[in-house]
Structure 1
Amino acid sequence: MFELFNRSNKISDLLENIGQVLDITQAQYELVQDRYTAVANQLSKDDSPLCIYKPEILPQGSFLLGTMIRPIIEDDELDVDLVCRLTGKKAHWTQKDLKHAVKDQIVHNNENYRRMLDDEGNRCWTLIYESDKFHLDILPSLIGNNNHINLSEKSFDSLGKSDVEELSIRITDRRESNYPSEINPNYWLKSNPFGYAAWFKNRAAINMFRSLMLSESIQPLPKYTKEKEPLIRAVQILKRHRDIMFGGDDDKPISIIITTLAARAYNKENNVIDALVSILLNMHLYMKKVYSDKHDKEIWWIENPVNNEENFADKWPFEQQKQDNFFSWLEKSKSDFSSLKNMNPSDAYRLLKNILGTRSVNEAVRNLGYDELITENLKPVNYSAQMLSVPHRQQPLWPVSLVYNCDVYGRYNDITDNKKSKSITNQTIIPKNCDIYFTATTNVPKPFDVYWQVVNTGEEAKNAFMGLRGGIFQAQTLGKGGLVQKEHSEFTGLHWMECFIVKNGVCVARSSEFFINIR
């Protein structure tokens, strides 16, 4: 029983750290904060026509909830959602007028913003920070009074339905027929991102004896922290599981559905693995089928917790693939995470690589000091994590999106034993002047390109002409699509091989380091 308890704790710690790895970094957060503050200052300048309407820039969506994850392809941009909230407007302003008043102030006397501003979106204006690899989606919106200020010191549990309603905003949408003509905000679309955030953070809070104050839920910018509640980590992990399963498929399950069902099904578990298992077991209880006059049939209904008239699954009746993909994802998630609890750490490590991506799992393993898991029985006894950071090790040449697996195995021809072929393990000491054969296995569908990397360490390699290898090169030897690579044992020291599988210009699979000890 004690061994099972330790095993479960180790897996839960690993999942917690994977969540931290998936999270945006403090540097990314501070960069967004800097750009966010600059936009807020631009919109609220004293000479701005908007100044009298007290413009506020507030985060919304995953950035406010704390559930944002880094893109699966490392070179993709972060998407940060913001709200520009105005208190009042000119009486004759339509949706279109208000939206364009916000845009005009963003670019007013600011050539940088004018250059960075993307084409008009349906609801948002977008500033693209190309060199920083993120963009800000700014949603123009309106409130009719200051009630949200009076509510800020109340707890979410103490709010009635009308109180939550006071947190709502009116937004613009150019797809609406009244976009260019309607001046009465009561007939504009309504949204409640701050009410939703208060609800979600109240669900995430572990301390059941403490009511979460709205001022803690709705802040101009929440503080960066690495410590997050199990529900938040569970949502981050489920979103990455979804991304690995579906890649860039437009019909993959949307984040608001995953986040809402996870929060409803969460039962205040105090660790990530228990939270995941419980959430996935109970998610379906918070979906219902209702008869729809509009569709003349029963449809799935996933209710917005702060607006019972909104169905987050409203696209499913028209796009069957979205519905099918959600249920496929839910069943696979249940199977994957329920099996984790009873696995030994090595088996759990292999499964997590498959469902959450090799690099994020390996980084989490190293952060925790569980390095023995990375190459299982292939890590040498004199290994140290610091050696992986040698400066001559070349970084990947392509965007990285690790949605498939790759493993490497090795054998060598022993010159002291009539060149008999022997497998390489963590205890293997390979003599000099032996031929070494590395074989990669992968589940990437063909066609693909194979690249290898040899990294040498030690004084002999350092002192030899071009001996200190660390570059990435395309496979050239032995056929099998490049999945077999021949090398020669030449320099004393601890070295390693790594294999990269590239498809359509993206690295979609990458092995762990395979170590070679030469004496």
Structure 2
Amino acid sequence: MTSHNLDILYSKLAESISITDAMADAAERSYKSVGRHLDDDTSLGETDVYTQGSFALGTVIRPISGEDEDYDIDLVCEMEDAASAPASHIKKAVGKSLRGYRKDTEDEGKRCWTFQYDKFHMDVLPCSPDITHCSDDTAIRLTHKNPDGSYSDRYSNPKGYRDWFIAKAGRPYEVARSRASSTISCSLEEVPEYSVKSPLQQAVQILKHHRNIMFAGRDDAPISIIITTLAARAYRNEQGTFDAIQGILSRMDQYVECRNGIYSIKNPVDEYENFADKWNDCPEKAAAFHDWLAAAKSDLVDTALNTKGMDKLKEHLGSCMGNRQANAAFKEFGGTLKSRRENGELFASAAGIAPLALHGEKAIPNHTFFGL
């Protein structure tokens, strides 16, 4: 299959593993409800409540089952007036507010408060602005509960990371955002993040889903922040989803540093944070990442390019991406090719059928019952 057609197919594959619009709308309503409660709680002072993680980046994927169930939503509750407050005060104040909102708020985790809201598993991260660790005005100071029950400061910058990731998505992201704006008839500022599907975002979705299939039932899977960060660093503004994956996987390991046996994958917006710190304590995690990278190159690029026949390719993608997901992608892929053929948008060349016309290529005629 040509890379042109693989771009179409992989875009459909990303759609098949994406959260549905209905579930995304429900998620948005749910976390905005929590946000309004926290904003209205005067005991917290001024707050800024926002998403982080895959919901903020537009890279949410469904569970392997393919069902819309039990999604994790990561929220940040930044207490803007608490920059000098003790870590314990910040953590407990947000926890008290959440218990007033949901009586079933679970016991606190190391950094978050967790509760179930509708079909969503919400983690709320209490924090304040960081006024000592980083000069970036989007940086935050969060709380960490130690084994002895005391609290200490930790630091992060989810807003800064999102801005960095979107910048890495480049011009293709802006094109996808403009297309989404036209489709749903709203301004660019009103476009929901989940409706923007750029090549980088879709590539990250496919890579995470491939990871989930490969490491199902194991606890040494490469974490999403590592896959997302390395993918963004390796992306070179490829226009298609398959081309993006091919380029990313060929360059990804160049951004894993290892000096004197110490691994480092720096947070691009916080030089003090090393996403690969656990690799240095558990070398098997580093080995698992490199095993996954080799498998992803083989499954998603090499075999995809060299497999002859649609049925064999669907069978292969079913084995590494899930049969339900592969079947859905091929069904949508066939519909797209049929539509483009009927509109005279498919072209034949020595390399095969493609949706783009190049020099010397001829349009494939539409089939009719009259043989024309």
Shorter-chain TM-score tier: 0.7 to 0.9
Correspondence 1:175 to 2:146: yes
Other structure's SS at 2:293 match: helix
Contact in 1 for aligned 2:173/2:196 (Cα 8 Å): no
Correspondence 1:368 to 2:333: yes
Match of 1:125 among 108, 113, 117: 113
Other structure's SS at 2:262 match: strand
Contact in 2 for aligned 1:266/1:279 (Cα 8 Å): yes
Correspondence 1:257 to 2:243: no
Contact in 2 for aligned 1:95/1:179 (Cα 8 Å): no
TM-fit CA distance, 1:343: 3.3
| Structure-2 residue corresponding to 1:314 | 277
Other structure's SS at 2:279 match: coil
Match of 2:33 among 24, 38, 41: 38
Once residues 280 and 232 of structure 1 are traced to their aligned partners in structure 2, the CA distance between those partners, rounded to angstroms, is 14
Contact in 1 for aligned 2:166/2:173 (Cα 8 Å): no
CA separation of 1:90/1:305 partners in 2, compared to 1, >3 Å: closer, same or farther? closer
| Structure-1 residue corresponding to 2:61 | 69
| Structure-2 residue corresponding to 1:467 | none
CA separation of 1:8/1:30 partners in 2, compared to 1, >3 Å: closer, same or farther? same
Structure with more contact order per residue of length (Cα contacts < 8 Å, sep ≥ 6): 2
Q: Structure 1: give runs of 5+ residues left out of the alignment.
A: 146-161, 183-187, 213-218, 292-297, 373-519
| Structure-2 residue corresponding to 1:280 | 249
| Structure-2 residue corresponding to 1:54 | 46
TM-fit CA distance, 1:227: 4.2
TM-fit CA distance, 1:207: 5.2
TM-fit CA distance, 1:144: 5.6
Other structure's SS at 1:120 match: coil
Alignment-mate amino acid for residue 120 of structure 2: F
TM-fit CA distance, 1:40: 1.3
Contact in 1 for aligned 2:17/2:205 (Cα 8 Å): yes
TM-fit CA distance, 1:175: 2.1
Query: Matches of residues 69-148 of structure 1 in structure 2 within 5 Å?
Result: 69-73=61-65, 74=67, 77-89=70-82, 93-108=85-100, 110=101, 113-115=102-104, 117-129=105-117, 132-143=118-129
Contact in 2 for aligned 1:59/1:221 (Cα 8 Å): no
Contact in 1 for aligned 2:267/2:274 (Cα 8 Å): yes
Query: Matches of residues 237-256 of structure 1 in structure 2 within 5 Å?
Result: 237-256=206-225
Contact in 2 for aligned 1:169/1:192 (Cα 8 Å): yes
CA separation of 1:83/1:169 partners in 2, compared to 1, >3 Å: closer, same or farther? same
| Number of residue-to-residue matches in the alignment | 322
Alignment-mate amino acid for residue 343 of structure 1: T
Alignment-mate amino acid for residue 360 of structure 1: Q
Instruction: Provide the TM-score with structure 2 as the length reference.
Output: 0.79
Query: Matches of residues 420-439 of structure 1 in structure 2 within 5 Å?
Result: none
Contact in 2 for aligned 1:253/1:325 (Cα 8 Å): yes
Match of 2:199 among 222, 230, 240: 230
Once residues 277 and 371 of structure 1 are traced to their aligned partners in structure 2, the CA distance between those partners, rounded to angstroms, is 22
Other structure's SS at 1:44 match: helix
Contact in 1 for aligned 2:83/2:129 (Cα 8 Å): no
Once residues 98 and 79 of structure 2 are traced to their aligned partners in structure 1, the CA distance between those partners, rounded to angstroms, is 14
| Structure-2 residue corresponding to 1:415 | none
Contact in 2 for aligned 1:203/1:263 (Cα 8 Å): yes
Correspondence 1:341 to 2:317: no
TM-fit CA distance, 1:248: 2.9
| Structure-1 residue corresponding to 2:20 | 25
Once residues 76 and 14 of structure 1 are traced to their aligned partners in structure 2, the CA distance between those partners, rounded to angstroms, is 25
- The CA RMSD over aligned residues, in Å, is 2.9
Once residues 85 and 264 of structure 1 are traced to their aligned partners in structure 2, the CA distance between those partners, rounded to angstroms, is 28
TM-fit CA distance, 1:337: 2.1
Correspondence 1:350 to 2:315: yes
Other structure's SS at 1:189 match: strand
Once residues 200 and 41 of structure 1 are traced to their aligned partners in structure 2, the CA distance between those partners, rounded to angstroms, is 27
CA separation of 1:193/1:208 partners in 2, compared to 1, >3 Å: closer, same or farther? closer
Higher strand share: 1
Once residues 281 and 331 of structure 1 are traced to their aligned partners in structure 2, the CA distance between those partners, rounded to angstroms, is 10
Contact in 2 for aligned 1:172/1:179 (Cα 8 Å): no
Once residues 359 and 370 of structure 1 are traced to their aligned partners in structure 2, the CA distance between those partners, rounded to angstroms, is 17
TM-fit CA distance, 1:23: 1.0
Other structure's SS at 1:253 match: coil
Contact in 1 for aligned 2:19/2:68 (Cα 8 Å): no
Once residues 135 and 58 of structure 1 are traced to their aligned partners in structure 2, the CA distance between those partners, rounded to angstroms, is 16
Alignment-mate amino acid for residue 34 of structure 2: V
Once residues 274 and 64 of structure 1 are traced to their aligned partners in structure 2, the CA distance between those partners, rounded to angstroms, is 24
CA separation of 1:178/1:55 partners in 2, compared to 1, >3 Å: closer, same or farther? same
Once residues 87 and 334 of structure 1 are traced to their aligned partners in structure 2, the CA distance between those partners, rounded to angstroms, is 45
Q: Structure 2: give runs of 5+ residues left out of the alignment.
A: 178-187, 338-372
CA separation of 1:125/1:220 partners in 2, compared to 1, >3 Å: closer, same or farther? farther
Contact in 1 for aligned 2:127/2:141 (Cα 8 Å): yes
Contact in 2 for aligned 1:58/1:221 (Cα 8 Å): no
CA separation of 1:90/1:313 partners in 2, compared to 1, >3 Å: closer, same or farther? closer
Once residues 193 and 208 of structure 1 are traced to their aligned partners in structure 2, the CA distance between those partners, rounded to angstroms, is 19
Q: Deviations over 1:263-315 (max 9, x none)?
A: 11111110011111111111111111124xxxxxx212111111222211100
Once residues 189 and 238 of structure 2 are traced to their aligned partners in structure 1, the CA distance between those partners, rounded to angstroms, is 29
- Aligned-residue identity in percent: 38
Other structure's SS at 2:246 match: helix
Contact in 1 for aligned 2:139/2:160 (Cα 8 Å): yes
Contact in 2 for aligned 1:126/1:137 (Cα 8 Å): yes
TM-fit CA distance, 1:221: 9.3
Once residues 269 and 243 of structure 1 are traced to their aligned partners in structure 2, the CA distance between those partners, rounded to angstroms, is 25
Higher helix share: 2
TM-fit CA distance, 1:107: 2.4
Correspondence 1:14 to 2:14: no
